[in-house]
Structure formats: structure tokens, C-alpha cells
Structure 1
Amino acid sequence: MLSTYIELLQTLQNLYFDHFPLMYKLPFEIRRTKGNGIRLSKVKRRNDRVVSLFPAFIFASAVFLFIVATRLRTPLVARPMGDAKMWGWFVLGIACFSGLVFYTLWMLVYQSDAIFMCNEIFRWEEELRKDSSQTKHIPVKATLLEKTVLLGFKLLVWMYYFVTPIDAAVTTFLTVDPLLPFFEFVLNMIPQLRKLLLFFAFNSEALFYFAMFLVRVGCVTVFLYEGFRLAAFCIGLTILIGKVVVSYLSSVSRLTDTFQENIIQHGLWSHLKIYKVLPIIFQSLEAPMKSTASLAIVAGTVAVSGCTFVVIKLHAVNDVYMTGFCLGVSVSAVILTKIILDTLANLDETSVKVLLQFRRLEILQKMGEPERKIYLKELYYLKPIAIPVGLGTARFSRITNNVKTTILMFMLENSINLLLAF
């Protein structure tokens, strides 16, 4: 099953890394090893520091433009809360801010740590899978929903790559982009700039506005490409790592069954040491994990509730394209949130089962009293694997099955409350 996710990420990399229209890559990528494994590796680029800041600049500029465009449009509409375009800018602004934080945390600040720790997980999982290949192996199967979404997402990656320039042109033509109000504001504030640009346009208003249209299309195209590839890569990598960790734990469980007699008779407690690797890795990346999880929950809630409000409450005054766009965002956000939460909650569920397996009575009863005490003492300090949710030094919760349900209910409740409030 892991090969399906890897193939999807490689398709994404082939299009949006190796054949990206702007000819630059994100700071790291996935590569195949000789043993058919995978590793994260840092991308070697010219002017690496400058190029690394370019995606962050795009997202920061997008947040600024959405805020300015919303501020400029507010006095022009009778009911700002009923304006679908402003709702769209608000949702996209939150998404861009989240993308800026995610990119800064994982691809700039914690880049080296993330690459090293992920590679350790990949390496250990690969070795454990090989060691347990001679045991009775029950492969981890993808659910029907996951298979359907993976196939749809693979088609979406190919389709989006080719139609992005067309989408950018249509979006710009429909004046949905925030660049037009910003450009008009700047030109009205600086008349000399308008005269200078008109001079270069041979004093032709038509040529001037056509050139402005082309600039807007170019900017929107760059934003759509960058936003899609970062979101797709981060979501795909998150799901892949979750599946790899589950495979890691499953291999530990099978090896524990296989070498149970050695554990009892000779005190070979390698299974405990192997399990300890995961808590150490997750603890070392706890700070960015907490912030990322918290912001992702907020951004997902805003996207679902905001777009649902536009579809249900404002469909009568909306253009068809705006209603369709918001409906697509809302449905996609719910499906992806469900898949990601299922994957992350499965870490806790699987690790709890593995720890319970370590405490099985048949293992403990056959041990001598001294060995049992040492074994239980070692086992006492092992905790389940779960993604923390928090901010800074504070930890609010951990993503478990119960918390997963709470998060989904939180999104539903906020959507209903927003519909009832207006």
C-alpha cells in the first residue's frame, strides 16, 4: 500500500519539481534508494537562501493582498457579510497564512531536523519490514475511500498542472483576484506612476489595461502553482509518514510474536529499544508539530465553515463559478481532513495495541521475578505515539480517535453556528 502513496508523491515531484514552470524546487524532495526504499534529501540549488525565501514571499504577499483587497472592497458593498468575493478572499487569506507558517517551520527553520528524523523513520521501517518478511505478514490495506481519493488526486495533479494557466486567466477575467483593487488603489494614489506607465503603453488605455491584465494573469498563475504544489506535497508527505509509522509498529508487533521465546528466556528486549526510537523522534519535533496541528485545525475549520456558508446562504446572489468553487473547497477540505485525522489517530491506536502486546501475561508469567521487574520498569516509560496539539510550550491535546471525532464535530458545529448567526 505504501507504494501507492510513494507513486503519487513522485508524480507530483515529476510535474511540480522537475518540470515546474518557474524552474526551481522546494528545499527538499523524496528520492528512491537502491533497495527500493525512500529518503528525504535536501535539494541543491543556486542561491539557495534567496530561492528558499521565494515561496515564503509569495504567501506573505498573498496574505497582504487579500487583506488590502478586503479593506478596499468593504465600503463599496452594502452588506460585506453577504459578499461572496470577500468570503473567498478571507478563506484564501487564512489558507495562505497557514501555508506561510507551515513552509517557514518545516522547510526553513526545522528543515535539517525534519529531513534527518523522517529518514530515520524510513530507514527503520524498511529494515523492520525486511526482518519481518519471513513471518506471517498481514499487509496494511488502504480503505475504499483512500483508494478512491488517491486515484482522484493523481488525476487532479495531472489535470491541474495543465489547466492552471487557463484557471488563472479565467480568474483574472472575472476579477476574483485581489490584484485589481490593489493596482487601482496604487494608481489612484500615485497619478505620476499611472502617467509613466501610460507613456510606456504609447498613451493607449487599451494597451495599458491589457498589459495590466497579463501581469495579473502571470501573478495568479505563479500563486496557483506554488500554492497547489506546497499543499499537495505537505499533505501527501504527512499521510505517507503516518502510514510508514503504522507499518513500523506492525513490524515490531510481528517480530515480538516471532521472538517471544528469546524475550522470555534470554532477556532480549530489543523490541522495547526499537519502539523507543519513535517517541524520541516525535519528541524532538514536538514544537513544530504542535503549532502545525493547531493551525491546520483552525484553517480547516475556517475553510469548511466559510465555504459552506457561501454555498448555502449566498447561492442566490452568487455567480455559479463562485458557488461551485466554494462547494469544491468545502467537500475537499472535509475529505482530506477525515483522511489525515484517520491516519494520525491510527498512530495512537496502533501504538497502544503494541504496548499492550508487550505486557501480555504469557510473557510476564514465564519470566523470573528480577527480569519481570526490570522489564516492567522499562515498559513503564514507553508511551503511545500521538501527534500533539498546542501552541508554544503549551500542549492542548493529542490526536487520538476520541479527539479526531471531537475535531470533526467542532468543524460541523462551527459551520452550523455560522449559518444560524447570519
Structure 2
Amino acid sequence: MLTTYVKLLLTLQNIYFDHFPLLYKLPFEFCRTKGNGIHVSKVKRSFDLAVSVFPAFLFAAAVFFFNVAMYLCFPLLRNPMGDVKMWSWGLLAIVCFCGLVFYTLWMLVYKSEAVFMFNEIFRHEEEPRKDPSLCPDMVSTTIEKVFLLGCNILIWNIYLFTPIAALVSTYLRMDPLLPFFNFVLTMIPQLKNLFIFFSFNSETLFYLGMFTFRVGWVTIFIYEGFRVAAFLIGLTILVGKVVISLLSSLSRLTDKFQSAITHRGFKAHLKLYKLIMIIFQSLEGPIKPTAILAIVAGTVAVSGCSFVVVRLHGVNEVYFTGFCAVVAISSVILTKIILDTLGNLSMASVRLLLHFGKIEILLEMGEGHWKKLYLKELRYLKPISIPVGLGTARFSRMTQKVKTEILMYMFEASVNLLIAF
């Protein structure tokens, strides 16, 4: 399954990095190694600082315009809480704020540390795969092939139909730019007259130009938003899968060198596990707010879209209700995949630590000096897990139990929202 995720990330790399319509790249990019692996590298670009800050500017501007649009339109509506635009703008404002934090943390503040640590994980996972006894060849199953095909089709469709989606959403006045522009032009009529003058004194040409401008910015935002989201989500899942693969290789390494462990003090497996611990501990600063806001974004997407589908379907067009249903279902599936990956990572590390201290190894060591040193080092090794915590679902580490609590938290938020309104 690991190869499947690598292929998906390389598809994203090909479409949204190498052939991106805006002709610039994110601060990171994926690169294929000589083997069957992948690594992350920093991108050298002209005007690097300005280009790096541009996606953050887009997210910040989106949060601003969504909030301004809600502020301007709220007094004009007879039933604001039943208006689909208000709900959509509110949900997107929260999601864009989370995206702004994610991008700032991982691609601006902790960029160098993240690239180095991720590549260390990828490099150490790739080395055992060169030994067939430690990492046997895995043939892709039919489910994996279907999953890969479906994701590739989805990625290509989003890439190709984004301009059409931007055009339709702008035509339906779902973008937050229109209320802001109308407010500014009403407050400063001289500005409108100036724009009309430059439009050859044609109001039709002026409104056409404003519509084209809105379509352009909505298109840019959708492209950039999906690219950043796909990169961060894909990297999260890939890192989790790679660490699980590495832990499995360490388990087989322990069995292969059991004699050297018991008689000659072989401890390479402990050192490698300790390195993984250090990597996760060093990134705990950005990981914790990322995990918390990811739960917030997922909960908002699921509960908000569920509310629109259940409560507001009577005042919505069928296509918009269907779109919200697809977003809600996709958010649940994606959240489940991420939580399964991180939960399995925790369980794999627990099983590996038990494997390090299995009875066969300890009995063969006897009561000598090697056993005391081995147990001393083993005592300092802790299970690997992601620190999280939010609201009523207060927990400290990502485990299988915590995964269930998070899903229940999202379900409760959706039900409470439906009951409240």
C-alpha cells in the first residue's frame, strides 16, 4: 500500500507542481529516489520570500473576505441562519484559517526542520527495503489498484474542472468578493466612475471586467487551496505509512539478528527506534497545533455540510446539496484514513517495544552485563504517538482509543448542530 501512496504523491507532483497553471511552486516538492522511495526537497525560486508568502496571503485574504461578506450580508437577510451562503462562508472562513496556520507552520516557520526530519525517516525506511528478508516484495492488490485509479481520476478532474467550478460559483454569487466590491463602490462612488471611465464609459464592460476579475481570483484560490491541502494531507499519510513500514522492518531485523542481540550486544535496532522518537519529539511543537486544528477543520467540514444537507436542502439547489453531501462523506473518509494511519502507528510502536523485550531474547541473555544494559536502554523507549487534545475530547496521545474518541467528537458536533438549529 505504501507504493500506492507514493504514486499518488508523484501524480500530485506532476500535475500541481510541474504543470501548475500559475507557474510557481510551493516551498517543498517531492522527488523520486533511485530505488522505489521518495524524499522531500526545498525548491529554489526567484523572489523566494514573496512567492513563499503568496499562498499564506491567499488564505489570510480569504478569511478576511469571508468574514466581511458575512458582516455585510447578515443585516440584509430575513433569515441569516437559514441562508446557505452564510453557512458556506462561515465554514470556509474557519477552514481557511486552519489552512493558514498549517501553511505558516510547516512551509515557512519549520520548513528546514521538517524537510530534514522527513527525509531522515524516508532514508531509514528505504534502507531495509534493499534486503528482501527484511522487507519482502509486496504485490499491489486489486483494491489498491482501484483506489489508485479512482484517486488519479479525482485529481485530474479537480485539476481540469477547477476553472469551470470557479466560473459557476462566481455566476451564482457564492464568492465573497461581490459584497465587498459593492460596499466599496457604494461608499466611494468616484471610484466606480473612474473604473467606468477606464472601461470606455461602458457599464457593461465594467461589470464584465469585475466578473472576470472575481472568476480569476476564485480560480487561483481553489487551485492553491487544493494544492496545499493535498500536499499536507498526502505527506501526513505517507509519513505515517513510512514509519509503520520502518517499524515492521525493525521487528524483522530483531528476529534476524536475535543471536547477535543476545550474545554480542547488538543494539542497532534500539538506536534506530530512538532516532524515530527524537524526530517526533523535535517536531512536537508544530505537530500539536496542527493536530488540534485538523480536528477543528474536519469537524467543521463534516458538521457544517451535514447541516446544509439535512436542514437546508429545501432552500438549496439539488446540485449544491449533492456537493455538500460529497464533501461531508469525503471528509469522513479522509479523516478515517488519517486517524487509522496515526492510530496504527501508535499500535505498531507498542508491539515493536514488546517485541524488543520478548521473553526469548531476555532468557538467552541470562543475568549478565548485556541484559542489564539492554533493559536499561529499553526502559527509556516510549511508544510513538501524536499529541492532540480538544474540547470535551481531552487526550494526550494518538492511540486507537483516541481515534474512536475523535470520530465520536465529530459525530456529536454534527448532531448538536442539527439539534441547536
Same-fold status (TM-score > 0.5): yes
What is the CA distance between 1:117 and its match in structure 2? 0.2
> With structure 1 as the length reference, what TM-score do the two structures score?
0.95
Matched with 2:87 is 87
CA distance in structure 2 between the partners assigned to 1:75 and 1:149 by the alignment: 46
Larger mean Cα displacement after TM superposition, 275-284 or 133-142: 133-142
Question: Within the alignment, does 1:17 sit opposite 2:17 as a pair?
Answer: yes
CA distance in structure 2 between the partners assigned to 1:373 and 1:112 by the alignment: 39
Matches of residues 383-402 of structure 1 in structure 2 within 5 Å? 383-390=382-389, 396-402=395-401
Matched-pair identity in %: 66
CA distance in structure 1 between the partners assigned to 2:317 and 2:332 by the alignment: 23
What is the CA distance between 1:225 and its match in structure 2? 0.4
Match of 1:196 among 194, 197, 201: 194
Matches of residues 74-113 of structure 1 in structure 2 within 5 Å? 74-113=74-113
CA distance in structure 2 between the partners assigned to 1:259 and 1:273 by the alignment: 14
Matched with 1:303 is 301
User: Retained in 2: the 8 A contact 1:31–1:39?
Assistant: yes
Matched with 2:70 is 70
Unaligned runs of 5+ in 1: none
- The one-character-per-residue Cα deviations of 1:65-106 (angstroms, maximum 9, x if unpaired) are 000001111011122111111111111111111111100000
Question: Within the alignment, does 1:334 sit opposite 2:337 as a pair?
Answer: no
CA distance in structure 2 between the partners assigned to 1:322 and 1:85 by the alignment: 11
CA distance in structure 2 between the partners assigned to 1:69 and 1:149 by the alignment: 39
SS at match of 1:328: helix
What is the CA distance between 1:153 and its match in structure 2? 2.1
User: Retained in 2: the 8 A contact 1:291–1:390?
Assistant: no
Matched with 1:46 is 46
SS at match of 1:41: strand
Larger mean Cα displacement after TM superposition, 3-12 or 44-53: 3-12
Matched with 2:357 is 359
CA distance in structure 1 between the partners assigned to 2:382 and 2:70 by the alignment: 47
For 2:342, the aligned partner's letter is: L
Larger mean Cα displacement after TM superposition, 293-302 or 264-273: 264-273
- The one-character-per-residue Cα deviations of 1:105-136 (angstroms, maximum 9, x if unpaired) are 000000000000000001100112224x2257
User: Retained in 2: the 8 A contact 1:129–1:248?
Assistant: no
What is the CA distance between 1:398 and its match in structure 2? 1.1
- CA RMSD across the alignment: 1.7
What is the CA distance between 1:148 and its match in structure 2? 5.0
User: Retained in 2: the 8 A contact 1:63–1:96?
Assistant: yes
- The one-character-per-residue Cα deviations of 1:271-318 (angstroms, maximum 9, x if unpaired) are 111111110000000000001000000111011001100100110111
CA distance in structure 2 between the partners assigned to 1:20 and 1:136 by the alignment: 36
Larger mean Cα displacement after TM superposition, 113-122 or 381-390: 381-390
User: Retained in 1: the 8 A contact 2:134–2:249?
Assistant: no
> With structure 2 as the length reference, what TM-score do the two structures score?
0.96
Match of 1:226 among 224, 230, 243: 224
For 2:334, the aligned partner's letter is: L
CA distance in structure 1 between the partners assigned to 2:354 and 2:142 by the alignment: 25
Match of 2:170 among 169, 172, 193: 172
For 2:411, the aligned partner's letter is: L
Match of 2:249 among 239, 248, 251: 251
CA distance in structure 2 between the partners assigned to 1:397 and 1:141 by the alignment: 35
Matched with 1:267 is 265
User: Retained in 2: the 8 A contact 1:84–1:322?
Assistant: no
- The one-character-per-residue Cα deviations of 1:328-372 (angstroms, maximum 9, x if unpaired) are 111110000000000011110000000000111111111132322
CA distance in structure 2 between the partners assigned to 1:268 and 1:21 by the alignment: 53
Matched with 1:279 is 277
CA distance in structure 2 between the partners assigned to 1:142 and 1:266 by the alignment: 41
For 1:174, the aligned partner's letter is: L
Matched with 2:420 is 421
Q: How many pairs align?
A: 417
CA distance in structure 2 between the partners assigned to 1:29 and 1:80 by the alignment: 43
What is the CA distance between 1:322 and its match in structure 2? 2.2
Assess, with a 3 A threshold, how the Cα gap between structure 1 residues 143 and 289 changes in structure 2: closer, same or farther: farther
CA distance in structure 2 between the partners assigned to 1:24 and 1:136 by the alignment: 38
CA distance in structure 2 between the partners assigned to 1:320 and 1:412 by the alignment: 24
User: Retained in 1: the 8 A contact 2:129–2:136?
Assistant: no
CA distance in structure 2 between the partners assigned to 1:313 and 1:269 by the alignment: 60
CA distance in structure 1 between the partners assigned to 2:329 and 2:42 by the alignment: 34
What is the CA distance between 1:224 and its match in structure 2? 0.6
What is the CA distance between 1:138 and its match in structure 2? 7.9
Matched with 1:152 is 150
CA distance in structure 2 between the partners assigned to 1:87 and 1:258 by the alignment: 58
Assess, with a 3 A threshold, how the Cα gap between structure 1 residues 261 and 374 changes in structure 2: closer, same or farther: same
CA distance in structure 1 between the partners assigned to 2:45 and 2:135 by the alignment: 45
SS at match of 1:397: coil
